Structure 1
Amino acid sequence: MSKYRVWFLLVICNLFWAGNYVFGKYVIADITPLWITFSRWSLAMFFLVPIAHYIEKPVWHRAKKEWFLLSCMGVLGVIGYNIFLYSALGYTTPTNAALVSALNPGVIVICSIILYRERISILQTLGLILSLIGALVVLTNGEMGRLLQLQFNRGDLLMVGAVIIWTLYTLIARRISTPPITATAISTGIAVLLMAPFAYNQGIQIGQIGTIAITGILYMVLFPSVGSFVFWNLSVQKIGVSKAGVFLNLIPVFTAIISGILGERVTGAQGVGGLLVFCGVYLTTGMLEQRLNIGNRKNKERPNDSGLTNSACCQEK
């Protein structure tokens, strides 16, 4: 798979996750965090298993050697992150939750450099910083002074927990050799089995679930659950943790765009912030560096007045 296709998958992946934030605020009003997580992933299993079987054609029993890592992925990425996220929305504002989640790319990059010795260039570091600034501009509507006025509560602390959990999930996903869709399907199956007794004990009032909540769950099943997790795990295995992590800064940008489509006003500051995020992601992908390197190579190989290339002249000297 080409790197351009991987970048496209990461953009789509985060677009789907942004929709999860939008629908989540409606679904949480009718369904508990545990049942949101349990129901969406139980239904997602009906798609993940056949998709993995027909696309990757895995030898399922070979995944046994990575059962511990796959179980950790299920506990962290499927159960932990989602329950922390939806629980946080019950105590804090969406702005505060999104603001805390904007720390995720930086945490992922730092951990991947320390643990996996991944290397990023100066331009890619600049891209990371630029995309973080853009995310903060979007979330604060251009009033960066609001960062000093935020009062952190239980929900904000839960979002810090969600950031840590997703970082651990991503680092583990980088280590496994099981194909990404198969890994997602297996870890999801493990998570559903672990959640089943707790969901049964908690119970659910089906008659109190509204149409919007049902639509939201269906969206979560098809796009954030199936699409995003498959695209994310595939991308992490292809380009590494640090580069994939920077794309998470697209979530607040896409959230603002979706909210604008649904009728909420999108300000000029949010537009500027979104542009900064896209520029930062562009720098992090390394496309600019590649073009600069190609340009330098062409200049070295260009014939001079004497008919020799620049490299040949150097050799003559």
Structure 2
Amino acid sequence: MKKIYVLLFLVLANLFWAGNYVFGEYLVAEMSPLQMTFSRWLIAVIFLVPLAHWIERPNWRNVWKEWKTLFILALLGVISYNFLLYEALQYTTSLNAALVNSINPAVIVLFSVLFLKEKISSKNGIGLVVSLLGVLLVLTKGQLHLIIHNAYNQGDLLMLIAILVWTIYSIIGRKTKEIPPISATSISVIFALIIMLPMVVVSGSNFNFHLSQHAVMGIVYMGIFPSVGSFIFWNISLRQIDASKAGVYLNLITVFTAIFSLLLGNSISFVQVIGGILVFIGVYLTSVKGNKEKVQKLSVIKT
């Protein structure tokens, strides 16, 4: 039986990830995608390793035995996805980036059904459609024709690649089900930092070390909440819930981003509020098990 804390963790994970989008949009003006990715995870690893050792007390030798899989996850989830996201924000608007990202749950469902043989009931499928409709209402302010008339640029294409990378990362992450989630994330981040270090050294002259106060606050936030909090919550949750269902919760990123925008002084229309409600309804429907649905436990490390 699904525990309530799993749903809470999924909501919190996406709340923190929404902040990553908000701060990322501002930080790309002062930091390169490489600098943002490296700085974020350098901060995160300071917390991840002690937390893994204190909370999980893993057998580190057994964790390191899975180094090949963790190395691949580092390339895909820690480096590639985040780099592509920050690179995309340099070329596309926040509307386009969020719009493209909203198809991520559908892609995860498709890949989960094709490659993991997961089953989804008709009610779960309806929940997916309702949730996606809600996201589109939030993004377009009720003007759904914008989906057709929007011109997709380089940033939009980068977001599409990022979504594919994230989906493949989630599928491969199933192989780490025997590894404690925080420990596995910690090792993946260490691998990522080692991989990025030569690139950081070579491009060091292009780094901006004179950041504004807001930029410093932003990168600290990204290093703690999305990088540590979100990934721990997501990893723990995916030990108890199918990837296809958990993926729908990614739609909450858009809703929380809209809420952050409101707090920052931007206006939100009534249609967007309705869209947000539809997202939550869709998430609920997707989380309800069908009577004939088999319960499958899946472990995916998301970073």
- With the length of structure 2 as denominator, give the TM-score of the two structures: 0.93
Q: Does residue 4 of structure 2 align to residue 4 of structure 1? A: yes
Does the CA-based 8 Å contact 2:92-2:154 persist in structure 1?
yes
State the partner residue of 1:265.
267
State the partner residue of 1:280.
282
Q: Does residue 220 of structure 2 align to residue 218 of structure 1? A: yes
RMSD over aligned Cα, in angstroms? 1.3
Give 5+ residue unaligned stretches, structure 1.
Answer: 291-317
Q: Which amino acid aligns with 1:223?
A: F
Does the CA-based 8 Å contact 1:52-1:58 persist in structure 2?
yes
The structural deviation recorded for 1:3 is 2.4
Does the CA-based 8 Å contact 2:31-2:208 persist in structure 1?
no
Q: Does residue 244 of structure 2 align to residue 239 of structure 1? A: no
Does the CA-based 8 Å contact 2:74-2:192 persist in structure 1?
yes
Q: Which amino acid aligns with 2:104?
A: N
- The alpha-carbon distance between structure 1 residues 221 and 207, as it changes in their structure 2 partners (threshold 3 A), is closer
Q: Does residue 66 of structure 2 align to residue 51 of structure 1? A: no
SS at match of 2:240: helix
Structure 2 CA distance for aligned equivalents of residues 215 and 2 of structure 1: 36
Residues 144-183 of structure 1, C-alpha deviations (whole Å, 9 max, x = no match): 0011111111111000011001111111222312111111
Does the CA-based 8 Å contact 2:30-2:208 persist in structure 1?
no
Structure 2 CA distance for aligned equivalents of residues 172 and 237 of structure 1: 14
State the partner residue of 2:203.
202
Does the CA-based 8 Å contact 2:22-2:257 persist in structure 1?
yes
- The alpha-carbon distance between structure 1 residues 150 and 60, as it changes in their structure 2 partners (threshold 3 A), is same
Does the CA-based 8 Å contact 1:3-1:239 persist in structure 2?
no
State the partner residue of 2:96.
96
Structure 2 CA distance for aligned equivalents of residues 78 and 280 of structure 1: 29
Give 5+ residue unaligned stretches, structure 2.
Answer: 292-303
Q: Which amino acid aligns with 2:59?
A: V
Residues 259-314 of structure 1, C-alpha deviations (whole Å, 9 max, x = no match): 10111001111101000000000001117x68xxxxxxxxxxxxxxxxxxxxxxxx
The structural deviation recorded for 1:206 is 4.5
- Tell which deviates more after alignment, 225-234 or 102-111: 225-234
Q: Which has the higher helix share?
A: 1
Q: Which amino acid aligns with 2:179?
A: T
Q: Which amino acid aligns with 1:184?
A: T
Structure 1 CA distance for aligned equivalents of residues 17 and 157 of structure 2: 21
Identical amino acids, percent of aligned pairs: 50
The structural deviation recorded for 1:2 is 5.0
State the partner residue of 1:106.
106
SS at match of 2:66: helix
State the partner residue of 1:293.
none
Structure 1 CA distance for aligned equivalents of residues 100 and 217 of structure 2: 27
- With the length of structure 1 as denominator, give the TM-score of the two structures: 0.89
* Larger Rg over CA atoms: 1
The structural deviation recorded for 1:25 is 1.2
Does the CA-based 8 Å contact 1:173-1:237 persist in structure 2?
no
Structure 1 CA distance for aligned equivalents of residues 2 and 280 of structure 2: 20
Does the CA-based 8 Å contact 1:91-1:154 persist in structure 2?
yes
State the partner residue of 2:296.
none
SS at match of 2:31: coil
Alignment: residue pair count: 289
Structure 2 CA distance for aligned equivalents of residues 267 and 94 of structure 1: 17
Structure 2 CA distance for aligned equivalents of residues 13 and 37 of structure 1: 18
Structure 1 CA distance for aligned equivalents of residues 264 and 236 of structure 2: 31
Residues 182-237 of structure 1, C-alpha deviations (whole Å, 9 max, x = no match): 11101000000000010111115444311111000000011000011111122122
Does the CA-based 8 Å contact 1:174-1:236 persist in structure 2?
no
Structure 1 CA distance for aligned equivalents of residues 194 and 225 of structure 2: 22
State the partner residue of 1:84.
84
Structure 2 CA distance for aligned equivalents of residues 189 and 171 of structure 1: 21
Does the CA-based 8 Å contact 1:9-1:231 persist in structure 2?
yes
Q: Which amino acid aligns with 1:211?
A: Q
Does the CA-based 8 Å contact 1:135-1:249 persist in structure 2?
yes
Structure 1 CA distance for aligned equivalents of residues 261 and 218 of structure 2: 15
